[in-house]
Every structure is written in structure tokens, then in C-alpha cells.
Amino acid sequence: MKPNNKWMAFLSSSALISGALLVNVLFGAIIILLIGSDPVVAYKSLLHYSLGDPVSFTNVLTRATPLLLAGLSVSVAFTAGIYNLGGEGQIYLGAFAAALVGFSLNGLTTPIHLSIIIIAAMLAGAIGAFIPGWLKVKYNVDEVVSTILLNSVYILFTNYLANYPFRDPTRWSGTTLQVLDSARMPVIYRSTELNAGIIISLFFVFIIFIIFRSSDLGYRWKIIGLNKRFSMFGGIASGRDQLIAMIFSGSLAGLAGGLLVTGSQYRFWAQIGGGVGWDGVLIALLANNNPLGVLIAGLGFAVVKTGSLAMEQASSVPSELTNVLLALLILFITGRKFAFILLQRKKNLVDIQE
Amino acid sequence: MNTEIICMQNIWKFFPGGVVANKSASLNVETGEIHAIVGENGAGKSTLMNILYGLHLPDKGDILLNGKHKNITNPRIAKKLGIGMVHQHFMLVPSFTVLQNIIIGYEPKYMNVFINETQASRIVSELCARYHLDLPLNEKVANLSVGLQQRVEIIKTVYRGANILILDEPTAVLTPQEADELIKICREMANQNKTILFISHKLREVLKISDRITVMRSGKTLQTVNTAETNERELACLIVGRERIWTIPTLVCSGENKPVLEIKDISILDHQNRNIISNFSIQVNAGEIVGVAGVEGNGQSELMNCLAGLLPTKAGSVTLNQKDITHTSVAKRRLLGIRHIPEDRMETGLCLKASITENMIVDPVSRKRFINQSGFIKWKCVEKYACDKIQEFKVLAPSGQTLVKNLSGGNMQKVVAAREFSGDYSCLLVMHPTRGLDIGASEFIYQQLLDARKNGKAILLVSADLDELFLVSDRIVVIYEGQLVAEFLPQDVTPESLGLYMTGAEKKTKEILYET
Amino acid sequence: MESILSFETLSTALRMATPLILVGLGGMISLQSGDLNIALEGMMLIGAFFAILGSFFFESALMGILFAVIAAIFYAVIFSFFIIRLKSDVFVVGIAMNILASGLTVFLLRLFFQVRGSFSDPQIQPLAKIQFGFLENIPALNTLFNNHSLFVYLSWVLVILFWIIFYRTPFGFYVRAAGEHPEVLETAGISVNRIRWMASLICGLMCGLGGAHLSLGYLVLFSENMTAGRGFIALAAVIFGGSNPVGMALTSLLFGFAEGLSLRIQNIGIPSQITLMLPYVTTLIALFLRSRSHLLKRKSDMLRSIESE
């Protein structure tokens, strides 16, 4: 198959992805049947309680806010050929920084307070990613292992801070004080949780898209990611650019954490991350590191996650099934090559017979 | 006594894409003979031998061994039939010892589970003695010279029971002296009734080694001649089908001796902190091509990478147009006027998964003018630039968006050439520019080099192909064990003589080298 | 202070090192055959869960081990299918399978045991402990080497076994050749893919054992994400060991010691969050020191230090 036409390539690739999606949905249906529930009821309730009415949809958008940033964070790093799997930990760093600035700075107006918080959160995340990035660039320490190890370190560290020095004495489990009113994102849809954070997330989707597409930095990242040797041969300072990618990546993750605190949680607590960092990895993989893909995949994730609880209520299918199906989706999509191979085999058989 | 051991009749082989690699090719080989198969790249020699070895299946035709019809469908069967092959790129595991490499897959076992190295050692030593070969059985292959590694490969095939040995371009990586050693080994084996087939395009050696020669061109076997009855010129005519047109217009000296690249006493360390280049000095003038001859692994790669800025020097200085660039970055060097055609065009010189357009602007000089003040790339302009270059360098590709991995080897090198020969520069570093390219593509590259030379560029050319060096160089220098050991004008030296310096058998004294 | 660096701690270190060693051996054979196995963490977690499952429903530790091994091998088969057959990207598949394992075990936890967080039950049979009578008379050695779960001893036996396999048997040679220069095997008539598959199955087996030890060895429970990064610590140990199982095992011992130490330190009042960081920080420092010493040796080669696996 030689799709010379760009459209043909796009269509055939979308067809295969849709195929994978379909297989995934069917697979889920089979599992639901095996559990003894009704897949139709399950899926219907999932969609209904996420897309069914405006309020549910605001929940989806609220959910999507940190997911988009997490996905972008991983995409930026992966594009530049460096594996930042430390998103979860960096989210915790950003969340804590946001909470700290959020409850300790008094007497500021909301826009100023939020701006400072955003910067603090991004800075905290950036530092969190800079460390393993620097270890990789300067000392060739494998970043897959180091970022994952640092996840635990950062999560434990921020938890320590929330349990001891910065603990809220009025609560029995380790959390920080609540952030001040001036540190809360304005709600943009009455009486829902939907806050201005979503606008910030969408803004960064746009920024990263522009960087990838048209900027010199984006070009350099792409080349480094595709062939580091070649980039160095051509004079690109790959170490420096990868470090910059890590800084961007960490900042985005940190911001996700910050938005979690200022947008809905209003304090830092033990499991504030909630696996968003890992969702971000899946989103980036699904999106093939493309910012627009991150948007679509991120929203998809948000829909599924928002609806999963309702699905459990309506059909007693454990909500955790959605996590399983989302992870499986990557495998199905990666496996779409298999369908390709099968088709090619049939084609070759036909050719030989001629 | 001389029975016919191999008979390949009427072999046809088609490849997808309409390529006819073998057209009714035939081959008759006698037992105990050293039989050479010669021809240009793409003549079909490798394909024919691969068919004999079972790596390809012929679409038509027969193979007879000792008069009996055989179906050689894979290398395992070939090996059972006593056919062994020594490939151009050695199949050796670097961290295994010589012995381990020889016995792999055919290990004598102890209690059927463990490898019995003592027994293996005995068997292999016997084999080595029989063919008067010397091999350090317990040395790691990674530490051996190329010539010795080749011997490991040869003994490996014999160990596996080969009576017929196919050698694919065996002398491509050897110095003239090592090639002589190989000739001796082949003779010894032939005397013990082993049959040797070898593919080569080096006529001088073919004439020395073989008993008979089969010439192939465009997939056909043209003629088989007795070596004693032919000569180089006649063979060359048969191979190209015409008088060789390798007459280069006499190089006109551009007159002034303006030094562009000055390398003074540099030393480079390898990853084990040993000197891989020591006290190396050379000067390349404007409008001059300096050819560097040397056996691979004597520091050429490191030298070129260092000059390009990819490796640091431990000592010494590099100057470009009187400006010290010893510690300058790759990007800065390019901006100052250095270009680099690397040894490994696919991995280092190109990004296969990127488009031609994207490959064309990786270096700062090409890319600079397309970046606006806010750091954005004007892609429309880049695409036009790439299109122009594609036309100028006759790259066969549908558009600039084509991914480089979909191009042929020759076209890939043209993309590299389009990037590196462009724009304003003063010094060009080139390594093995025509490796693996066919005649047409090679001629194109030579033309580019000569044009650049005419335009006053200083060119440093490293090549393993002595013919190539003699063809285009104004001066030829020899590198051996990281040092400059000789310098000649092409008309004052022969390839054999160069070979002596390349293997360290001779060294010019420092005074002769440095007389301006 | 003296109670921290006691034989007790060393004994704990041995215990904590065992899953690392088992998984590390699996990772090592995978790496030697040319496939970097990022999914060790996931396979271990799957092993840990299914060990509990088997042991609970059949009230037998042996069934637990069997379930763990079969499940982990199955997981390895899926991984290798993508890597070897489909030639997919190792990182994408590995990361996805780690995340999948996490979600899957949580889901199955709810499905089978109707709980969230963790599950424990007297019906679950732990791994047998071995008692060496002759050690009881020597108090120091007794603390150190006696009364450990079966796998602790088994892991060291396996280390030696793996060494023998790598350096004295044809199979071990083929594995190493597959990773270093696969064409050599092909021209010797040996299928490289077959070797890779076999290495992968062995890796699955080892991860199953490692996971079983984690959940059935001492604590006898399964909790969400209980592997807690051990798969990556084991990977670090593999990187350290290079091609030597003994080196990897000693490194795992070091990391196990850090874990053991972190538990001890909690007793003297340092917050648990800080002590729990110890194993991870130790691993990071070890990786850093190793990379730095490698880099000093290779300081003069920028191009070569672009490792591509």
C-alpha cells in the first residue's frame, strides 16, 4: 500500500485506529457480559452521565483540565526523544507549590495570586523534571528509570511536607491548609466545578501546537527525537534542547497539579495526583505526541473517566474497568499493524497465484 | 583429477520492482580451483553467489553439485552440502573469543548440555595447523585486526565442513600485504582440494589469486577466461563494456597555496583513554583535495569527527582560515565554513524518518535564513529551497515531502551532497563518499568534488578506495595508527607502495614529511 | 544506632533483595537477548496478584506460585508478540503494559475480592519457610540465614544457575549472540526470534516468581501497586550487572539493604515518608555514580555515548 496522497494516508490510518477502537469497545462488552452485566446498559450510562447533559459535560471538562496538560507534558518530552515518565511526581510538586503559595500569601487579588501560583507550580514541576533531565544529558543516566524512581521520591517528599511542617492542624490526615479565596480559580459555569483552568489548558494545547508546527525549537526537538546522532552532526545542541524539553514538560505537569489544587481540590492532600500523570502517558501514546491528538484523546479519557462511576452505579460493573480498557486501547492501536500484516499476506498470496 | 564440482545453469532471478538480477547466468567450477567472479556493482555477482548459498531461490535454472542436481533452499542445506560463505561484513560476535565464534551453532558438548571448549580447542587448532593459519583462539574477536577476523571467518566455514568456500569481496577491507596473506591461504586450501569462489571488483588481486575468472555484466555471465591468458585492461573492457572512461581531466593546480584548514599536532583519545590520533598535523589549501589513505580503524573516523566538532582534542590546535576552532562547537564550525559528508550517511548524515526538506535544513547555515525574529521557520520558503536543490542535484524523488528512507542509496547520498555542497563554505570534510554507490552516482559525486575544488574549496577526503584517491587527489597522505606516516603526489607513488605505508611497513621520516 | 546495622537488618536485606534478584534475572536474560524489558514492573505485579488468587482459592502456596508463573508468562507472551512479531516500539508497549497491569490488578481485585486497596485473608497460604537445624546453634548466622522463605534461598541458586547457563551452555551463548550480533546466529542456522521468545518466557517465569514472593513471601497480602517501582529498581540492578548475574544479585542486595534500613530507621522517629525514599534515592545515586564513572572513561567520545539499545 503506497498512499502517495496525504489524504489517503490520513484516511487509512484513521480507519485502522477506529478499527482498534471498535475492537476495544467490543472487548469491553465481552468482559462486561462475562461479569454478568449488560454492556448496553453499561455503555449507555457511561455516555449519558458524561455527555448527556451540560452539567455532566462540565464535569468532563473539569476532569480534562489536568489530563490535557499531562498529555502535553509527555508529548513534548517524547517528541524530543527523552522519556519523561515522571509526570505523576511532577504533578505532586506543582500541586504542593500551588497549595503553599495559595494559603500563605495574604492580601492579594485573585488574578495576581493565581498568576503567582501558576508560575510557582510550573517552576516546581520544571525543577522536578530538570533533575532527571540533567542527569541524562550530562551523565547519561537512563531517564526511564530515573523519572519513575523520582515519582516515588517526589510523592513521598510532598506528602512528608503535608504531614509535618505544613500540616493543617485542624485535620487528622495529612493535608495542607486550604488555599485562600484569592487562590481559587473562578468558576465559569454556574454552580459547577468547571473553572477557568480549562481555558488555561486549552491555551497550552494551542501553544504547544504552534511550537511543534512552526517554531525552530519544535523542529529541533523533532529531529533530536527522530535521530539524535544526526541532530548532533548537524550542529543542533541536543543536550541543551532536550533539557529545555524537560523543563517544558515538567512545567506542564506542574501546572496540571497547580490547576488541580486551585481549580477543584483547594488543598494539597495525599493522593491529589490520582494517576493523572500516568493517564497523561497513555494520552500522549494514543495521540502519537501530536497536540491536537492530545486534545482529542484527553477529552476522550475525561469522558470515559467521568462516566465510569455512573456506569458502576447503573450496571455494577466496577469503574476500574475503564482504566483497563484505556490501557488496552494502546495495545490494540499498536497492534493494528497486525491487521496490516494479515492484509498484506492475503495480497501476497493473490500475487503469487497470478 | 579435475572434476567439475559446481555447475550453475541458466540461472534467472527477478526481484520485486522489475529488477532482473540474473539473466541466464551460468557458472562452471572445477574442484580445487580458485575461481573469481568479477563485475561492477549491480552486475549480479552477489546474487548468483547468494543463490548458490541458499539465501535466494532462483526463479529458473539448475544447480548441480558433483553432477547431481541440488535444491539449495536455505543456508542450512548449503552448509550440509559443504558450501560455506564468508560475507563482506563479518558475522562475528565481538565479545566472544575466536574459538567461541568459530564453534557457535556447532559446539562439541559435554554431557550433551555444556560446551566442551577443550575438545573444541583441539579440533580448531588442528584445522589451523592444516592450512598454516595462525589464530589466537582465546583472544576476543573485538581486539583483532580485520585481516585476522577474516581468517576466523574462513576457519569457521571450514570447521562447519565446507569444501566450497565463497568469499564476498574479501580484499575490500585488506591492505595489499594482508591481501597477499589471503592469497597464500587460498592457495593452501586449494592445494588441499577445497574449491574457492570469490567475488571481487579489484582486478589486480583477482589476477593474482585466481585460476579462472568469470566476468558478469548486467546479470549475465559474459565469459570465463583463464587468468594466465588475460590482463587487467582486457578484463576492465569486458566488465564495463567499453573503454574505461576513468580519465580525469588533468588537475590544474589552482596556483596559490592559501591554507584554509590547518591542523597542528592534535591528539585524540578514544573511549579507553588511549591515543587514537597522536601528533597529527596537516594543512589543506584552498582549491586542493587532500586524500587520506589508510586501513579502516587507524583513526580516520576519529580525525574527521574531531575536525567536524563531534570529538574533542586532547592537545593541539585546529585552525580554519586563521581562526582557531579547536574548541568550537559543531554549529559554530559550520557557520564558519566547514561542511561534512560523514562516513555513515544513513545514520549520521541523514534522518531517514524525516522528509528531504527537513533533512536539508538541519545545519545552522542552511536553516538560519529561514528563521524569523520570533524563532519561527518559514516553511513555505524552505520547501521551495528544497525543491530547487532536488532539481539541481537530480535527486529522484516525487517531492520534498518524501521521507528519505524511501530513497535509493545513490539518491540518499545526493541529498547529503545537496546539503553539504551548498552555500558559502571554505572547507569540506568527506569520508567514503561513493561507498556502495553505482558508477553513475559515483561519477556525480566526483564531479561535485572537482567543481568544489575549482571554486577554491579546501577538501579533505578519506577513502578506503585507493583508485578513488588516485583519481581526485592533489596530494595523498597515509594515516597509520593515528599518525601521519607519508605524503605523496599521486604521480609519484603506486598503490602497492601506499600499501606499505598503510600497514606501517614503512614510514617516512619527519624531515621528508615536513619539507613544505 | 547499633540496632540499625544489626544482623536483623541484613536478614531483612536478604529478604527484600529476593524479588529484585528474581525479576532481575528475568530482566537480564531479556536484555542479553536484545530486548530491553521495561515491563518488568507490570509482570511482577501480575505475578503478585495471581499468586494471591491461586493461593486463596486453592488454599495452597504451590497453586499460588503456579498461577503467578502462568499469568506472568502469559503477560510476557503478549509483550513479546508486540515486540518480536509486530516489531513495535519497546517503550510504548512496555509503558502501556505497566499501566495496564496496574489497572488490571485493581479491577480484578474488585472483581474477585470485592475490595479496594488491599486484600488479605487467613485462607491464603504463604510460601514455605525453610529451617536449617544446624544453623540454630550459631546465633548470628541463624538470624542471617535461617528461617527465610523458600524463594530467598532459591533466588541465589538461580543466580548461579543463570551464570552457568550464560557462560557454559550453548543456549546462553545464543542468547548473548542474539543481543550482540543477531546475524551471526542466523548464519549459524539458529533462529534469533526463537531465542528471543525463549528468553522472554524465562523472563515471565522469573517475574512470576518474584511477584509471588512479594505477595506470598512474608506479608501475605496483595495491595494496589504493591510493586512500588521494584521492577525499575531491578532494572537498575540489571544495568549494573551488565552481563553478570552475580553482579546484578549483589547490586540487588544493596538495594534490598536500603529497603531494610528504611524500615529500621522508622523506629527511631524519622517520618516514614522520608525513610521510604531511601531505596529510591539509593538506586538513583548508584545509577548516577555508575554513569559518571562510565562517562569519565568515555569522556572523549561524544558520539559513542549516545547509547542506543
How do residues B116-161 score in pLDDT, each as one tens digit?
A: 889 999 999 998 988 888 889 999 998 888 888 999 999 999 999 8
Segment C131-142 shows an average pLDDT of: 79
DSSP conformation class of A196: T
CB atoms B310 and A214 under 8 Å? no
Question: How distant is the Cα of A146 from the closest Cα of chain C, in angstroms?
Answer: 6
CATH number of B4-240: 3.40.50.300
CB atoms B312 and C300 under 8 Å? yes
Show me where the domains of chain B are located. 4-240, 259-337+425-514, 351-423
Which chain A residues are Cβ-neighbours of C230 within 8 angstroms? none
Provide the edge-to-edge strand list for the sheet that holds B475-480.
B338-341, B427-431, B458-462, B288-293, B475-480, B483-488
Which chain C residues are Cβ-neighbours of B87 within 8 angstroms? 187
A354 pLDDT tier (thresholds 50, 70, 90): very low
Q: Which chains touch C (3 or more CB pairs under 8 A)?
A: A, B
Q: Can you tell me the distance from the alpha carbon of A267 to that of A176, in angstroms, rounded to the nearest whole number?
A: 6
CB atoms A140 and C92 under 8 Å? no
When CB atoms are compared, the residue of A144, A164, A320 closest to C107 is: A320
Segment A36-58 shows an average pLDDT of: 88
Segment B157-174 shows an average pLDDT of: 87
When CB atoms are compared, the residue of C173, C300, C303 closest to B268 is: C300
Q: What is the DSSP string of chain C?
A: -TTTTSHHHHHHHHHHHHHHHHHHHHHHHHHHTT---TTHHHHHHHHHHHHHHHHHHHT-HHHHHHHHHHHHHHHHHHHHIIIIIS---HHHHHHHHHHHHHHHHHHHHHHHH--SSEE--TTSPPPPB---GGGGGSHHHHHHHSS-BHHHHHHHHHHHHHHHHHHHSHHHHHHHHHHH-HHHHHHTT--HHHHHHHHHHHHHHHHHHHHHHHHHSSS--EETTTTTTHHHHHHHHHHHHTT-HHHHHHHHHHHHHHHHHHHHHHTTT--HHHHHHHHHHHHHHHHHHHHHHHHHHTTT-TTTTS---
Q: Can you tell me the distance from the alpha carbon of B38 to that of C160, in angstroms, rounded to the nearest whole number?
A: 53
pLDDT, position B509: 54
How do residues B329-379 score in pLDDT, each as one tens digit?
A: 999 999 999 999 998 888 899 999 999 999 999 999 999 999 999 999 999
Question: How distant is the Cα of B61 from the closest Cα of chain A, in angstroms?
Answer: 19
Write out the H or E segment, with its range, that includes residue B175.
none
Grid cell at residue C148? 527465610
Backbone angles phi, psi at C140, to 5 degrees: -65, -50
Q: Can you tell me the distance from the alpha carbon of A91 to that of A155, in angstroms, rounded to the nearest whole number?
A: 9
pLDDT at A46 over 60: yes
CB-defined contacts A:B, below 8 A? 71
A2 pLDDT tier (thresholds 50, 70, 90): very low
C-beta separation of A124 from A261 below 8 A: no
pLDDT, position C305: 37
pLDDT, position B145: 82
Nearest-Cα residue of chain B relative to residue A218: B376
Q: For residue B440, which amino acid is it?
A: G
Q: Can you tell me the distance from the alpha carbon of B49 to that of B52, in angstroms, rounded to the nearest whole number?
A: 5
Q: Can you tell me the distance from the alpha carbon of B26 to that of B12, in angstroms, rounded to the nearest whole number?
A: 10
C296 pLDDT tier (thresholds 50, 70, 90): low
Which residue, among B328, B278, B271, B330, has the nearest Cα to B299 in the 3D structure? Answer: B278
pLDDT, position A94: 96
When CB atoms are compared, the residue of C87, C110, C236 closest to A318 is: C110
pTM across the whole model: 0.86
Question: What is the signed CA dihedral for C95, C100, C105, C111, rounded to 10 degrees?
Answer: 170
3-state secondary structure of B75: helix
Quote the ipTM score.
Answer: 0.88
A349 pLDDT tier (thresholds 50, 70, 90): low
Flag whether C287 is in a domain: no
Could you tell me which residues come within 8 angstroms of residue A19 by beta carbon, excluding any fewer than 6 positions away? Answer: A336, A339
Grid cell at residue A213? 508546527
How do residues B459-514 score in pLDDT, each as one tens digit?
A: 999 998 888 898 899 999 999 888 888 898 888 888 777 777 776 666 665 444 54
Q: What is the DSSP string of B384-403?
A: HHHHHHHHHTT---S-TTSB
Please count the CA atoms within 13 angstroms of the CA of B193 that sit on its side-chain side: 6
Domain interval for residue C59: 19-225
When CB atoms are compared, the residue of C184, C299, C303 closest to B104 is: C184
Segment C51-73 shows an average pLDDT of: 95
pLDDT, position B200: 82
Question: How distant is the Cα of B242 from the closest Cα of chain C, in angstroms?
Answer: 38
Flag whether C126 is in a domain: yes
pLDDT at C180 over 50: yes
pLDDT at C159 over 50: yes
Of A260 and A167, the structure prediction assigns the larger pLDDT to A260
A293 pLDDT tier (thresholds 50, 70, 90): very high
Write out the H or E segment, with its range, that includes residue B371.
none
**In chain C, what's the furthest Cα-to-Cα distance?**
62
Pairing of strands B68-69, B427-431: unpaired
For the ranges A113-117, A313-317, B87-91, the one whose mean pLDDT is highest: A113-117
Q: Which chains touch B (3 or more CB pairs under 8 A)?
A: A, C
Nearest-Cα residue of chain A relative to residue C102: A324
CB atoms C169 and B94 under 8 Å? no
User: How far is CA A153 from its chain centroid?
Assistant: 20
How do residues C67-89 score in pLDDT, each as one tens digit?
A: 999 999 999 999 999 999 888 88
pLDDT, position B253: 57
pLDDT at A248 over 50: yes
How do residues A192-214 score in pLDDT, each as one tens digit?
A: 778 889 999 999 999 999 999 99
Please tell me if the domain spanning B4-240 has the same topology as the one spanning B259-337+425-514: yes
Pairing of strands B164-168, B195-200: parallel
DSSP conformation class of B221: E
CB atoms A281 and C103 under 8 Å? no
State how many domains chain C has.
1
Which chain B residues are Cβ-neighbours of C187 within 8 angstroms? 75, 85, 87, 91
Q: Is the dihedral of CA C69, C71, C76, C77 positive or negative?
A: positive
Q: What is the DSSP string of A268-333?
A: -BTT-STTHHHHHHHHHHHHTT-HHHHHHHHHHHHHHHHHHHHHHHHH---TTHHHHHHHHHHHHH
Which chain B residues are Cβ-neighbours of A233 within 8 angstroms? 308, 310, 330, 340, 342, 348-349, 362
C-beta separation of A124 from A97 below 8 A: yes
pLDDT at A160 over 70: yes
Q: How many C-beta atoms lie closer than 10 Å to residue B97's C-beta?
A: 19
pLDDT at B210 over 80: yes
Of B256 and B427, the structure prediction assigns the larger pLDDT to B427
CB atoms C187 and B92 under 8 Å? no
pLDDT at B102 over 50: yes
Cell 582440494 -> residue: B193
C-beta separation of A253 from A94 below 8 A: yes
C249 pLDDT tier (thresholds 50, 70, 90): very high
Question: How distant is the Cα of B15 from the closest Cα of chain A, in angstroms?
Answer: 13
A352 pLDDT tier (thresholds 50, 70, 90): low
Nearest-Cα residue of chain B relative to residue A352: B16
Mean of per-residue pLDDT scores for chain C = 88
Q: Can you tell me the distance from the alpha carbon of A208 to that of A204, in angstroms, rounded to the nearest whole number?
A: 6
pLDDT, position A228: 94
Of C71 and A313, the structure prediction assigns the larger pLDDT to C71
The lowest-confidence range among A239-248, B197-206, B390-399, C295-304 is C295-304
C-beta separation of A231 from A149 below 8 A: no
CB atoms A323 and C233 under 8 Å? no
Rg (CA), chain B: 25
pLDDT, position B211: 93
Which residue, among B479, B428, B486, B494, has the nearest Cα to B457 in the 3D structure? Answer: B428
Flag whether C50 is in a domain: yes
Flag whether C201 is in a domain: yes
CB atoms C91 and A83 under 8 Å? yes
For the ranges B287-296, C139-148, C171-180, C182-191, the one whose mean pLDDT is highest: C171-180
Which top CATH class is B259-337+425-514?
A: alpha beta
pLDDT, position B468: 87
Geometric angle at alpha carbon B199, from B198 and B204, rounded to 5°? 90
CB-defined contacts B:C, below 8 A? 71
pLDDT at B165 over 80: yes
Q: Can you tell me the distance from the alpha carbon of B453 to that of C284, in angstroms, rounded to the nearest whole number?
A: 53
B516 pLDDT tier (thresholds 50, 70, 90): very low
**Can you give the length of chain A in residues?**
354
Which residue, among A108, A74, A2, A28, has the nearest Cα to A280 in the 3D structure? Answer: A74
With a CB-CB cutoff of 8 Å, which residues 252-291 of chain B face chain C? 268-273
Which chain B residues are Cβ-neighbours of A232 within 8 angstroms? 310, 330
